[in-house]
Structure 1
Amino acid sequence: MGLLLILLAGPAGAQAPGRLNVVLEGDTGVRDDGNYGPQQDPALQQSRTVGRLGLGLRLSYALERLSLALGYSPYYERTLDGSGLSGTTHRLDFGLIGDLNRQLRLNVRENLISTPNVDLYAPVTTPQTTVVTRQGNQLSHLLDVSLDQTFSRHASMLFGVTHSLRRYEDPNLIDSETLGARLGAAFELARGSRLEAALGADRYDYRQRGSSGVVTLGLAYATDLGRDNHLRLEGGAYSERSDLRAANLPSVGLRVRQNETGWRGGLQLARDERLFHWTLGASHDISPGAGLGYAVTADNGFLGLSTAIGRRLALGLDGNVSRQRNLPFEVASGQSDRRTLTEFAAGTARADWTFAPGYRLEGGYSRIWQRAQVAPFANLSYARYYVNLAFRLYNSGETPLEPATLGRPTTNEKSDSQ
């Protein structure tokens, strides 16, 4: 916090104050989860209608040496079928870029999602591991801080640290905490194109279950394909060593200690235009394992499309898939066990209509599917319909930047996320 105050106060005496862009909206709505498939847990085979009331805050602030953006949306939900389930969801997305001097840049990114038992699924906007637990009440948090040192127009070095955690109220799920560090270098090959290399080290802590240490090596190529297109390709390898307590392991044949190696990779492709935006992402990497208590490989994918029709109507289509698989640990028989633990897929079609100044109506349909081979996760297949009314409480005049767009120009106003 002290560093942020220095960045804010530093240039104040040498330049005019920066501009603060703020939008605050109220939100109320209703959704219905129903049409459960035959594999659904019998205890949950029913439609459920949930009411919602909340706020949405977006702001961005820029000075000569500092840019920050924040999105925060708390909302209260309660079932309307008499079951009495209720809870408050919190979503936070924060980004900051600050130039400490002409060669040294600070980058900060933070994401937090806290969901109650009535919010078992929410659309995502990046490739990430998604699983639906038998009970909600979970917290996911990620903080990434890095320093980028520029040596010349074509070469720079990066040092970063990452802290993430997943916490669950369900006693059958295992909390995990990750602390990592990375060292990398980047080389500009041409205008808008760069090559990056990085070495990382992470520790996965599972409390009473033990821990895993992971070392990663990666190469990445990022380029701008014209003014509006952005491409990033990643590839590399990992080495993992587990130190798990046998008394706390599930019956999947894991040893107390195990060394494993494998490959990792990723793809991100996006197009930004004023009236049309789409993004595509896929990744394969080692992961702490969502709720499992040991490291796994995770395959994730995301596709998002949005388009504006005139000034009042916006349409969107989102889809994401996720899979967790065992690392090739040796089982008691000596055979490699690569079974799939969880598979997840979801798609959402949405519409956003601004029918009056400061008033916006949102609606959509989602289909959620999950298959699980481990007890804490249910086999799911259900549909969701939702409609929300958003109303403007305060507007400073200009649309705030999104945290994901800090540091690069964009001509597209990002659509509001559900």
Structure 2
Amino acid sequence: MASYDLIVIGSGTAAQVAVGRVRAAGWSVAVIDHRPFGGTCALRGCDPKRMLVSGEEAIDAARRMARHGVDGTLAIDWPDLMAFKRTFTDPIPAKQAHRYAELGVDALHGVARFAGPDTIVVEGRTLRARHILIASGARPVPLGIPGEDLVSTSDAFLELQALPRRIVLIGGGYVAAEFSHLAARAGAEVTILQRAERLLPHFDPDLVGWLTPRFEALGIRVETGATVTRVERSGSGLLVHAERQGEPDLSVAADLVVHAAGRGPDLKALDLSAGEVAVQDGRLQLDAHLRSISNPRVYAAGDAAGVGPRLTPVSSHDAKVVAANLLDGPTHQPDYRGVPSVAFTLPPIAAVGLSEEAARRGGVALRVNAASTPDWFTARRLAEPVYGHKLLIDEDTDLILGAHLVGPNADEVINVFGLAIRHGLTAADLRSTMFAYPTGASDVGYMLT
């Protein structure tokens, strides 16, 4: 039986960071993944999505600048755009396997499961470890509806070789918003069926309201308060049925239906009970150090841990915390202050820190700087009709409690506010900073005035 200091289940961001750190300390390590090495972000998430968004950015820029000195018509060639994406994603598994080999890490393909508190079985092999890190990522939460087997996933959407004419997205969060913009600009008829009463519920409702006309301008049909009840075949396509309280039920025809209604920790195949790893409501029970409360050999990081926001920088941060705890003893805790989040619609919408509702619940003397500002230079030079901000400031301390942005450069400028929140910079600190001008960041001072 092979023995290791650490076995890592998963090969994404969290796994890569943890492996590098413990190997540098001389630990023996095995990595196991039943999918190609590289993880969700690099292969099936953030990075390939942004590669595709690059295509729609060009289309959107040309349309906005029509009649402003730009002439001609552009269109997305979907197969070519997918080929562009693959120039990034295709080499990753081999590169990752090569990196593991260079580090002296045993990299195994197969489904891992616990066979004891310190024992993992994969493809008929039994491995033992002093410690185990669960970094298996996330998977779509079950919809629990008839016809669920007819519903595709976001992973599959990012591999489409041809774009279907009619697409229905179940859910109204990040994935639905981003995919709807991309697909609509590529020529598809898109419908979003969102159970909640508004799109993008994790973002500020005022800013979502300012962004909503961009969905409308793209011809995206948005149905909120719509709970999908079943999906069925209809001729050569699909029919999606949804209920709305107090209103007529909906039936929407589609060629492709995509699950965009949320993901949860991917733990099902691990047989955690055999590993004496406590789970409640589908989530690992962890202590403040990201360690299993029932099996101190086991740690978790990233989406599998399900503690911090489900974002790639959080996975990396969790992995650093876990590695430090493995090497130094369990004394380190994660710190999720100032983690920005972005939905890569066009234009993007971003947030960091507290929502206005949460800030008001905190009982502080709150100053809110909010405005829709499409007349500012940043928006005008790009002919972008959507631009706005909402900043939440503690009147007593001048600390920034939350920042919410929508419009050009929101995905970059939000990092300035993330830095301020994480490191205790005040609104006065940011106002006194000299940013390069004219850039998106140079608007920060005006937002805080």
Q: Give the shorter-chain TM-score range.
A: under 0.3
With structure 1 as the length reference, what TM-score do the two structures score?
0.24
With structure 2 as the length reference, what TM-score do the two structures score?
0.23
Q: Which has the higher strand share?
A: 1
